[in-house]
């Protein structure tokens, strides 16, 4: 990864292309890359990262826009490779700062983005592109290449500049028998390889997995088998953007004479868009409103739901907790038709356990082949390197282990080790005359969305939330007379989440009073804050020794 000794990057020279990833390197999500040359900026992808358990209360995590915040007038456009949240979810938050930045993408991608922008009341300028098309914005010429992924209409982007060429794949795989017949265009890759690829930025998510990713079409028969033996309701959980998976569920429902109801706002919205644009083939009379499901016999019902990652507020999690309008019961079949995003494992298995306690039969990737990845495995990546023969490689989109695995594949195919750039969020890479080098590092931290708050929650706040959740809370209120140095009232101790009776704290109260009295008599110039710190140290040491806990302590000293 980028050396810690790297300092602020040098001033960008004319005719040099600077690439700065603001997210997606070292994590699965928050994908965003900045390209800059001759005073103009192009952005590729602008996604979100979903919070993990150690980030309680956080709704979304955004890239840090501060690197370009005072230069938004120089941004010529945002190119979106495909419509997944980790690539488009942060677009509304960027356009809040400057709504007229052009947004470029395929028809489906832009339709999904425009629906999100409408929710934020942003009317953006969008430009629809397709594979094979070439567009120029400022000093950037962009050529779009068809790639296959777990959502239709995905595109790689080939960027030509005075400094050299870059191929950014977005997320992709090489499914040779895709459901929609749209393969990754290796002939186009070959033509770009003949022209010359100075820097190859490729998806790394499955780089550590040998061989080739299983074709999507192999999932259909498995879903059919599950449908064939299900006796009561079937609930299928998937990403709200996985149109191919929803199509397979619709087809299986038709074959087994079942009706389908979409559950979850994002699922309803996205599938409506996909059907309207022709990406989803909805058989006649197959869909039913969720409100009318109870009027149908259980063996005639399929629910297509969100929540495959164990998100607390998503439909499936609420079903597992028993607080959803759909009450899961004995004999229901649940299919989790998606992969596990790293970091979500505990949440997903918690949902699985909850559903099984309710009597459901839960089918997931550990006990049936109900999901295939949307990302290229090592064999496919080797093909791409051999076809393109890039001068330099910069693995993107993955955790550190994925990036390193991708870098090793590049070396195996002949990319010199010094030309394989293993970077991290905030690394600054300069490309000129076929040479790419890391020249510095900038701050590229997390920006948290918490309700209506954006960027106001800090890592310190999250630490406090974790302490509150894990160790509990103790408040100590004491009233003192500054002149006499005597305790007027208290100390009153109130504990929450410490799992101890109030009687336990009787022994420490005299010690707190004594410590305060001594502090005031020793120095009557002590501030209220200093007296509160005396209380904090006294009870903190006692709780740590006596209760083996480290709760949040809030001391309040009132002077009379």
What CATH number should be reported for the domain holding residue 314?
Answer: 3.40.50.10710
- Contact (CB, 8 A) for 293 and 261: yes
Confidence at 518, pLDDT banded by 50, 70, 90: confident
User: Do 230 and 305 belong together in one domain?
Assistant: yes
The token duo for 255 is 């074959």
Instruction: Convert the pLDDT of each residue in 405-431 to its tens digit.
Output: 999 999 999 999 999 999 999 999 999
Confidence at 2, pLDDT banded by 50, 70, 90: very low
Give the residue with greater pLDDT, 525 vs 22: 22
CATH code of residue 523: 3.10.20.580
User: Do 504 and 443 belong together in one domain?
Assistant: no
Would residue 88 count as lying in a domain? yes
> Where would I find the beta strands (DSSP E) of 233-310?
234-237, 259-263, 301-305
Most confident segment among 468-472, 497-501, 536-540:
536-540
Confidence at 441, pLDDT banded by 50, 70, 90: very high
Q: Is 304 left (phi over 0), alpha (psi -120 to 50) or beta?
A: beta
Would residue 6 count as lying in a domain? no
Confidence at 1, pLDDT banded by 50, 70, 90: very low
Would residue 443 count as lying in a domain? yes
Q: Is the peptide bond before 491 cis (omega within 30 degrees of 0)?
A: yes
Q: Report the distance separating Cα 521 and Cα 218, nearest Å.
A: 80
Secondary structure of 506-551 as H, E, C letters: HHCHHHHHHHHHHHHHHCCCCCHHHHHHHHHHHHHHHHHHHCCCCC
User: Do 358 and 399 belong together in one domain?
Assistant: no
Percent of the chain with pLDDT over 90: 51
Q: Report the distance separating Cα 541 and Cα 559, nearest Å.
A: 24
Would residue 437 count as lying in a domain? yes
Q: Report the distance separating Cα 299 and Cα 333, nearest Å.
A: 10
- Contact (CB, 8 A) for 22 and 425: yes
Last residue of a domain, one of 363, 394, 420: 363
Least confident of 74-88, 158-172, 264-278: 264-278
Instruction: Convert the pLDDT of each residue in 28-71 to its tens digit.
Output: 889 999 999 999 999 999 999 876 666 656 667 889 999 999 99
Q: Closest by alpha carbon to 304, among 238, 352, 382, 216?
A: 238
| Average predicted confidence (pLDDT) for the chain | 86
Per-residue pLDDT at 342 = 62
pLDDT reading at 361 higher than 80: yes
User: Do 114 and 139 belong together in one domain?
Assistant: yes
Would residue 467 count as lying in a domain? no
Last residue of a domain, one of 331, 363, 395: 363
Q: Report the distance separating Cα 44 and Cα 96, nearest Å.
A: 18
Last residue of a domain, one of 412, 427, 454: 454
The token duo for 315 is 């439909």
Per-residue pLDDT at 71 = 94
User: Do 220 and 357 belong together in one domain?
Assistant: yes
pLDDT reading at 553 higher than 70: yes
Question: What is the largest distance, in Å, between two alpha-carbon atoms of the chain?
Answer: 89
User: Do 548 and 507 belong together in one domain?
Assistant: yes
Confidence at 485, pLDDT banded by 50, 70, 90: low
User: Do 423 and 536 belong together in one domain?
Assistant: no
User: Do 105 and 150 belong together in one domain?
Assistant: yes
User: Do 259 and 291 belong together in one domain?
Assistant: yes
Q: Report the distance separating Cα 331 and Cα 329, nearest Å.
A: 6
Would residue 4 count as lying in a domain? no
pLDDT reading at 307 higher than 70: yes
Confidence at 558, pLDDT banded by 50, 70, 90: confident
User: Do 178 and 191 belong together in one domain?
Assistant: yes
Per-residue pLDDT at 3 = 47
pLDDT reading at 362 higher than 80: yes
**Residue-range definition of the domain harbouring residue 521:** 472-559
User: Do 337 and 485 belong together in one domain?
Assistant: no
CATH code of residue 205: 3.60.15.10
User: Do 37 and 182 belong together in one domain?
Assistant: yes
- Angle of CA points 309, 310, 311, to nearest 5°: 95
Percent of the chain with pLDDT over 70: 88
**pTM for this predicted structure:** 0.81
pLDDT reading at 452 higher than 80: no
Per-residue pLDDT at 56 = 55
Q: Report the distance separating Cα 452 and Cα 57, nearest Å.
A: 12
CA distances from residue 310 to 15, 223, 236, 371, 493 in whole angstroms, order as listed? 47, 21, 13, 16, 38
Most confident segment among 115-124, 339-348, 410-419, 488-497:
410-419
Average pLDDT for residues 193-206, to the nearest whole number?
97
Token pair 């991708």 in the structure block, residue: 406
Q: Report the distance separating Cα 269 and Cα 315, nearest Å.
A: 15
Would residue 10 count as lying in a domain? no
Per-residue pLDDT at 356 = 87
The domain total for the chain is 3
Would residue 463 count as lying in a domain? no
């Amino acid at each position: 990864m980028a050396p810690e000794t790297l300092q602020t990057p040098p001033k960008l020279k004319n005719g040099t292309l600077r690439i700065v990833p603001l997210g997606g390197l070292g994590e699965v999500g928050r994908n965003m890359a900045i390209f800059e040359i001759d005073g103009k900026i192009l952005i590729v992808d602008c996604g979100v990262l979903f919070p993990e358990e150690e980030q309680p209360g956080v709704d979304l995590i955004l890239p840090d826009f501060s690197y370009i915040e005072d230069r938004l007038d120089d941004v010529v456009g945002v190119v979106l490779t495909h419509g997944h949240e980790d690539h488009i979810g942060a677009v509304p938050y960027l356009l809040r700062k400057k709504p007229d930045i052009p947004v470029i993408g395929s028809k489906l991608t832009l339709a999904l983005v425009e629906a999100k922008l409408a929710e934020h009341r942003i009317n953006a300028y969008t430009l629809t592109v397709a594979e094979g098309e070439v567009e120029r914005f400022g000093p950037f010429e962009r050529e779009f290449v068809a790639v296959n992924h777990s959502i239709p209409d995905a595109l790689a982007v080939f960027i030509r500049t005075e400094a050299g060429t870059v191929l950014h794949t977005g997320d992709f795989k090489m499914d040779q028998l895709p459901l929609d017949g749209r393969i990754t265009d290796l002939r186009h890759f070959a033509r770009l390889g003949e022209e010359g690829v100075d820097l190859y930025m490729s998806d790394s998510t499955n780089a550590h997995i040998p061989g080739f990713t299983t074709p999507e079409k192999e999932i259909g028969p498995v879903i059919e088998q599950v449908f064939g033996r299900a006796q009561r309701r079937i609930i299928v959980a998937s990403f709200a953007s996985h149109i191919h998976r929803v199509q397979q569920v619709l087809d299986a429902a038709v074959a087994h004479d079942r009706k389908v109801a979409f559950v979850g706002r994002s699922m309803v919205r996205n599938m409506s868009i996909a059907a309207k644009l022709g990406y989803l083939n909805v058989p006649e009379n197959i869909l039913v409103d969720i409100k009318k499901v109870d009027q149908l016999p259980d063996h005639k019902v399929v629910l297509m739901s969100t929540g495959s990652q164990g998100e607390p507020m998503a439909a499936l999690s609420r079903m597992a907790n028993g607080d959803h309008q759909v009450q899961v019961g004995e004999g229901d079949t649940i299919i989790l038709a998606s992969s596990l995003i790293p970091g979500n494992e505990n949440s997903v298995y918690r949902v699985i356990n909850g559903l099984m306690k309710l009597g459901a039969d839960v089918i997931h990737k550990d006990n049936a082949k109900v999901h295939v990845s949307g990302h290229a495995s090592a064999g496919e990546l080797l093909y791409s390197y051999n076809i393109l023969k890039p001068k330099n490689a910069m693995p993107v989109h993955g955790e550190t282990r994925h990036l390193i695995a991708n870098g090793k594949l590049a070396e195996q195919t002949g990319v010199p080790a010094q030309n394989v750039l293993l970077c991290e969020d905030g690394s600054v890479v300069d490309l000129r005359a076929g040479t790419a080098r890391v020249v510095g590092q900038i701050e590229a931290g997390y920006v948290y969305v918490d309700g209506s708050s954006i960027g106001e929650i800090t890592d310190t706040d999250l630490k406090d939330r974790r302490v509150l959740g894990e160790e509990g809370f103790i408040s100590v209120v004491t009233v003192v007379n500054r002149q006499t140095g005597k305790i007027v009232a208290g100390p009153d101790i109130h504990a929450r989440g410490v799992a101890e009776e109030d009687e336990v704290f009787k022994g420490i109260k005299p010690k707190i009073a004594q410590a305060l009295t001594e502090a005031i008599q020793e120095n009557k110039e002590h501030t209220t804050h200093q007296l509160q710190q005396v209380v904090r140290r006294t009870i903190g040491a006692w709780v740590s020794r006596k209760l083996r806990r480290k709760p949040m302590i809030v001391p309040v000293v009132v002077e009379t």
